[in-house]
Structure 1
Amino acid sequence: MPSLYLIRHGIAEDRENYEDDTLRPLTDEGRKKTKQVAKRLYDLGLRFDLLQTSPLVRAQQTAEIFTNVFSSPVQQSSELAPEGSFEAWLQWVTEWISQHPQPARASLGIIGHEPDLTTWAETLLWGESKGALVLKKAGIIGLVLPESQPWTANGILFLSIPPKLLI
């Protein structure tokens, strides 16, 4: 069954210091912790066939750190920007998995923002957002998707780790 890992970007600079929120970078501490998290996840055996990231600077920087650790290809998606389209993104995921050489073993890392990532995870799990999941900065949620559609309300949560448990 395909695996989906939802990863929140690392600690970023304060919003009030940037007129354009899309340009906020990671802090030095955010870079350091994100690198520690990525290395620990690698050591635990996680692998990604593809990392897909939001176009915002802090998410791209997080993706760069993960790419350096995992040597995974990275792709940018405007759907992963805040308030992106879940339906459009889910259609892309469906197509990507169907084109994967081993669809049942596909492993996709998604780097984005809150509250979208937990809303999307909950929709894949329960068919709606319940506000039950928490995803800290540089944290990760792992879902297994069923081999066939529909995916919403049919996912299985197998991983939810805050960064403090990985560092």
Structure 2
Amino acid sequence: MIRHARAEERDTRRYPNDMLRPLSEEGRLRFVRLAAKLSRRKVRPRVIATSPAVRCTHTAQLLVEKIRNAPPIETLDALGFGGNLAELMEWTRDQKVDQVAWVGHEPNMSEHLARLIGAEGASIRFAKGAVAAVTFYDEIAVGAATLRWFVTTRLMRS
């Protein structure tokens, strides 16, 4: 699970459609470093799903650039604002691979993570560019995941 990297500031004159707001240079650089470190640690999703927002698709593309055997990227409306966890779970089950990645927005990513690990209502701060890895040991279902690790671009700078 990935929250998009830091984007340009909201500015209705420059970006009248918020879906078209791109990553900032700082956000891009921080996430590239994080993606490279994740790749070295064998984090290699077989497919990546992303929100249609430009900042999410750009984050997904940065991840793909650092992964050996680059996976395909699919755009899913379920990862957009107000995302639908049931649709994401169904999509994930349909993939039949061992690693998938979702790239989305707040507060969706925090809420989805909390529900997946059975901690609905928990206060999880999903910083921009942060990545959480969960594992499903039996079925892919709400409350059935275990949080394996959670990293931010700040933590991975060292």
- With normalisation by structure 2, the TM-score equals 0.90
Question: In structure 1, what is the equivalent of residue 56 of structure 2?
Answer: 59
Pairing 1:125–2:91 present: no
Question: In structure 2, what is the equivalent of residue 103 of structure 1?
Answer: none
Q: How does 1:61-140 map to 2 (within 5 A)?
A: 61-70=58-67, 71-97=70-96, 100=97, 106-126=98-118, 128-130=120-122, 132-140=123-131
Unmatched runs of 5 consecutive residues or more in structure 1? 1-5, 101-105
Question: In structure 2, what is the equivalent of residue 156 of structure 1?
Answer: 146
In the alignment, the residues of structure 1 paired with residue 76 and residue 121 of structure 2 have an alpha-carbon distance, to the nearest angstrom, of: 22
Q: Deviations over 1:11-54 (max 9, x none)?
A: 10111342211010001111111111100111122111111111
Unmatched runs of 5 consecutive residues or more in structure 2? none
Q: Deviations over 1:95-115 (max 9, x none)?
A: 223xx4xxxxx1011111111
In the alignment, the residues of structure 1 paired with residue 42 and residue 92 of structure 2 have an alpha-carbon distance, to the nearest angstrom, of: 23
* Aligned CA-pair RMSD: 1.4
- Give, in angstroms, the shift of residue 72 of structure 1: 1.9
* Residue in structure 1 matching 2:136, options 145, 162, 167: 145
Give % identity: 25
Q: Aligned partner of 2:150: which letter? A: S
In the alignment, the residues of structure 2 paired with residue 164 and residue 119 of structure 1 have an alpha-carbon distance, to the nearest angstrom, of: 22
Q: How does 1:25-44 map to 2 (within 5 A)?
A: 25-44=22-41
**Is contact 1:54–1:79 with CA below 8 Å preserved after alignment?**
yes
Give the structure, 1 or 2, with the largest relative contact order (CA under 8 Å, sep 6 or more): 1
In the alignment, the residues of structure 2 paired with residue 19 and residue 129 of structure 1 have an alpha-carbon distance, to the nearest angstrom, of: 33
Question: In structure 1, what is the equivalent of residue 4 of structure 2?
Answer: 9
**Is contact 1:120–1:129 with CA below 8 Å preserved after alignment?**
no
Question: In structure 2, what is the equivalent of residue 3 of structure 1?
Answer: none
2:2 is paired with a residue of what secondary structure?
A: strand
2:102 is paired with a residue of what secondary structure?
A: strand
1:142 is paired with a residue of what secondary structure?
A: strand
Q: Aligned partner of 2:155: which letter? A: L
- Give, in angstroms, the shift of residue 127 of structure 1: 5.8
Q: Aligned partner of 2:83: which letter? A: G
In the alignment, the residues of structure 1 paired with residue 91 and residue 119 of structure 2 have an alpha-carbon distance, to the nearest angstrom, of: 18
In the alignment, the residues of structure 1 paired with residue 40 and residue 119 of structure 2 have an alpha-carbon distance, to the nearest angstrom, of: 33
Aligned length: 153
- With normalisation by structure 1, the TM-score equals 0.86
